[in-house]
Amino acid sequence: MTLKPYSLGALLLTLSALPVMAPAPAVAVPAAVAAAAVAPAASPGGHTADQIGRFLARFYGKHGPSAHDRRHHVSQVLLERQTTTQSDVLLCAHNEPQDIGIGPVTVAQAAGVGWATVTTQWAADETDTFTVYVRLDSKPIRVDDVICAG
């Protein structure tokens, strides 16, 4: 349905002509319930870029994720992918890097996802990069997907 330019004005005029209803009477609410109702949510859109960055830095550390993190802080898709491939899907490699760096985190609230580029340092000054994705609504926070650069 397409709205004509004048249809919004007509709707507002019609609404303004409706009788105004008296406000509902106040109802007593226990203090604990009232406090919980006005307490702001920690992050209404999910995890923030800062939270994701700190999580990824801890998750990857200097040489890669721990066995515990590999079991408890990755999506089911990554757990299944790891069992069907010979390389490490979380590092996009076959062995352990000498160092790992996490780039700036980008958050797309509308898409419900955040991501960062991870750089792995190898022998002889060789580096590699891949992109790690985190769902903003994951509880607990976890790596949702990893896309290898090449």
Structural tokens at position 87: 């390389």
Q: What is the pLDDT of residue 150?
A: 63
Any idea where the domains of the chain sit in the sequence?
49-148
Which band of pLDDT confidence, cut at 50, 70 and 90, is reported for residue 69?
very high
The architecture that CATH gives domain 49-148 is: Roll (3.10)
- Given a cut of 70, whether residue 31 has pLDDT beyond it is no
Q: ∠ CA 64-69-74 to the nearest 5 degrees? A: 100
Q: What is the pLDDT of residue 15?
A: 36
Burial class of residue 73, CB neighbours in 10 A (0-12, 13-18, 19+): buried
Q: What is the pLDDT of residue 23?
A: 45
Q: What is the pLDDT of residue 37?
A: 34
Q: ∠ CA 126-84-86 to the nearest 5 degrees? A: 35
